[in-house]
Structure 1
């Protein structure tokens, strides 16, 4: 089975940090998700950034639909691969 990576897009750093903590608690992840700031094209202001939470799912055990609902808790979404 190939490695699966899920990317959750969240509106701000606080939401992303909360989501990282909640992901570990809810799904018992073997490693902490990576938090990445994604500046929107052409924007210099830190307020105009999305935050990405990258979740490695080597065993493919996370249900994408559940992650969609999870990200929506923070007004975010899961990127389709």
Structure 2
């Protein structure tokens, strides 16, 4: 098997405090990283909470070639008061 067949498909999950921050982050990701596909935006309601204000927003970035530097993603998420979930 070649090295290319051993590469694991990565998925980066960036957690943001609100939808506006998540949408701005998606735009910034496209500018800085030139993403092959648009990240997925997902609302993640906190356990037991019904209020929309008590939700986090997840930006899911597919990284099939492991091309995106996790440290750069961490820094970018932090600029929007968020973080990257470690897999």
User: Which interval holds the TM-score relative to the shorter structure?
Assistant: over 0.9
Tell whether 2:42 aligns with 1:5: no
Number of matched residues?
Answer: 81
* Equivalent residue for 1:19, pick from 17, 22, 25: 25
Considering only aligned residues, what root-mean-square deviation do their CA atoms show, in Å?
0.5
**Which residue does 1:45 correspond to in 2?**
51
Tell whether 2:6 aligns with 1:29: no
Tell whether 2:62 aligns with 1:62: no
Please identify the structure whose Cα radius of gyration is greater. Answer: 2
* Equivalent residue for 2:78, pick from 67, 72, 76: 72
Return the TM-score normalized by structure 2: 0.91
Return the TM-score normalized by structure 1: 0.98
Structure 1 unmatched ranges of 5 or more: none
Deviations along 1:27-74, one digit per CA (max 9) or x if unpaired, are 000000000000000000000000000000011011111111000001
